[in-house]
Amino acid sequence: MKKTKILFVGMVVLLLASCATKKAFVEQKPVQKKTPVEKVASVEKVNNMQNYVVIQRVTDNALYQKNLVSNLTFTINDGSKDITVPGILRMRKDEVIRLQLLIPILRSEVGRIEFTKDYVLFIDRIHKQYVKANYDEVGFLRDNGINFYSLQSLFWNQIFIPRKQRISEADFSQLSVDESKLQSEGTTLIGLKDGKMDYKWTVNSKRNQILLTTVTYNGSAQTTSKLSWSYRDFKGFGAKLFPASQSLTINTPKFGKKPAKTLKANFELDGFSETSDWEAFTTPSDKYTKVSVEDILAKLMNF
């Protein structure tokens, strides 16, 4: 990456120099020195172009497929114990992210977690209960500023802009690029500041892959929360590589009588498919009872 930067800057300097030389030769006019303001503007222009190239390379790693289906080993820890179950991950871009939790060996579904654009659905098959809520009603999503599109980007290993369906080239100027760890760790840090929210993506500079995404809400000491999503074990899926191992950590502060909590979840994927012959949305049976988010999460932890 450093050699590429040097080569890129060198080419820009040579291009500017050759243009200036040609102009001086044709017009026979002396080359005027740039003012300090003009020099700063030139440096900023080159830096912005460099940042653009870095961000473009990362966004170019996004999968082409609309559907991703994979066998899943799902592990969740609420700070006291690990619960591991097999499952299936189904994702359809801009429509749904679905985690189906299964009974080991029998592989009958015991729970389902479904994220759509408008709501989050939790289903407990054993107790015949469910929760259907908007994102503001689910604490660990609300507290970390997560909606469907940002959550989708986390699952799909992509950079995102808050409140936007997808990132575009016009959005690149909102992002910062820090390559200070390029030499020691081989990583680049892409950042975005949005009010009290900080978004950071740690990128493998050689392969342009996102290794870690962090979302931090910088409130008071009592309200600061953080979400970290890491990616490993990249495997081929079509023409691109996709992380077969993903880990999520959510740190929430103490709120009233509720203690500070750390929630961890691991997603180990086994085999990728772009199968599309499945329904995008689930409708709970009339025989199921609607309960609170806290109730059903406690039940899921006891599977």
d(CA 216, CA 1): 28
Q: Which residues partner with 144 through β-bridges? A: none
For 5, the token pair is 């930067």
Kindly compute the dihedral angle of the four CA atoms of residues 133, 83, 76, 127, in this order, to the nearest 10 degrees. Answer: 0
pLDDT category, 223, cuts 50, 70, 90? Answer: confident
Could you tell me which of 114, 138, 111 has the C-alpha nearest to residue 127? Answer: 111
CB-based contact 106:97 (threshold 8 Å):
no
Print the SS3 string covering 137-151. HCHHHHCCCCCHHHH
pTM of the model: 0.80
For the chain, what's the residue count? 303
33 pLDDT higher than 60: no
- The dihedral sign for the CA sequence 285, 287, 291, 295: negative
pLDDT in tens, 47-83: 678 899 999 999 999 999 999 999 999 998 877 788 8
pLDDT for 218 equals 82
> Given this model, what pLDDT does residue 292 score?
81
Residues 174-205 have pLDDT tens digits of 999 999 888 788 999 999 999 888 999 999 99
Judged against a pLDDT cut of 70, whether residue 169 lies above it is answered with yes
The third-level CATH classification (topology) of the domain covering 67-301 is outer membrane lipoprotein receptor (LolB), chain A (2.50.20)
CB atoms within 10 A of CB 152: 22
pLDDT given for residue 152 in this prediction: 96
What pLDDT, on the 0 to 100 scale, is given for residue 301? 54
Assigned token pair, 162: 């808050």
Count of C-beta atoms within a 10 Å radius of residue 97: 21
